[in-house]
Amino acid sequence: MKSFRLDRTAFQIQTLEQATHQRRYWLSRPPAERLAAAWYLICAAYNLDPHQPEPLDRNCFSMRKQPV
């Protein structure tokens, strides 16, 4: 996975035209690159390791047979 770097100096107030340009840019990128960028942002927000996702907590789910 390609490593992304957040440039904190790049943030500024945008006009609607600039925001539309950003949307157009990301829609022009391949789906795999968009998903990789989204996964990176999710990992950065929740302080996760992007190369080792958390395992599913199986204690929240239970299976039992339904009566017929």
CB 41 within 8 A of CB 35: no
Whole-number pLDDT of residue 25: 85
Q: Kindly list the averaged pLDDT for each block of 10 residues, start to end, along the chain of length 68.
A: 66 76 86 91 87 79 76
Whole-number pLDDT of residue 6: 67
- Polymer length in residues for the chain: 68
Q: How far apart are CA 41 and CA 6, in angstroms?
A: 9
pTM: 0.55
Q: How far apart are CA 64 and CA 55, in angstroms?
A: 22
